[in-house]
Every structure is written in structure tokens, then in C-alpha cells.
Amino acid sequence: MEPGLSLLGDEHVARYRETDGEVGYLWNGATCLLLTTTGRSSGEPRTVPLIFAADGERCIVVASMGGAPRHPNWYLNLSADPGVEVQVRGDRFEAAARTLDEAERERCWALAVAVWPSYEEYAARTERVIPVVALERSGG
């Protein structure tokens, strides 16, 4: 099933922010957050909406880019600077991003696929290992 594309990119970010996620938290049946990274070249904040799975207090995101052969820019940004900002509905917080190792990745990949089954298709389209990232709230 092809996802509905009525809310994408910058518009998704704007509506999510305006409504504290009332619009945009659920997208095609999947839960979404806003991730703000620091541009690795520009140094400017870059915000993207991403599907996520909850893992206790952590948010799990997948750098799939639909199965493209290269990693998405947001992943390259957080690889350069793992200090990120996250918004889940009205909750905005600082977080540390960490790419999961193989053992932890497998369990969290299953959590992500439960939220967005198309990740399995995306993995089949690419030869790269799709990174799975934990966003862990900073401080307390």
C-alpha cells in the first residue's frame, strides 16, 4: 500500500509545530516525531519529520531514505554531531543520538518494522545496512 503524501517535508514540520503534533504525529498510521540536527556543513539547524518507535524512554528512528543507496542527510548530520533536539507531540527535549550496534539493532529494527512494515521493503532495495538510531533524552 502506498502511503498518503498529503503531509510532507517542511509542511509536515510546520503543522506539527503549530499544533504540538495534533496534526502530523500520526502519519499513515505511524507515529512521527520531529528531529532537529545541526547541518554538518552549514552549522544551521535542520528539522525533519521521522517515523519512530518507542523503546522505553528512547525513540528509535531508522535511516532508511526509502532504501536509497546512501544515508539521509539527517543521519550524516547526527553522525557528525550527536546532540539533537526532538519533539514528540508537545514534548520538546534535547537528546543524544546513537547508532545501535548489531545486537541491539536487531531488536530495535523489529520495533520499527512493527510501526512501519515498509522498512523491510526498503532494506531489500539497498545493499547498505540501514542504520537504526536511538534518541536518548539528555539530562533529567
Phi/psi of residue 128, nearest 5 degrees: -80, 155
For position 1, what pLDDT does the model report? 42
| CATH architecture group of domain 9-137 | Roll (2.30)
d(CA 128, CA 33): 24
d(CA 140, CA 130): 30
The answer to whether 88 touches 59, Cβ cutoff 8 Å, is yes
List, for residues 11-56, the tens digit of each pLDDT value: 899 999 999 999 999 998 999 999 999 999 999 999 999 999 999 9
d(CA 34, CA 134): 14
Phi/psi of residue 23, nearest 5 degrees: -110, 120
d(CA 2, CA 60): 23
List, for residues 77-130, the tens digit of each pLDDT value: 999 999 999 999 999 999 999 999 998 999 999 999 999 999 999 999 999 999
> What's the pTM value of the predicted model, to 2 decimals?
0.93
* Domain extent listing, the chain: 9-137
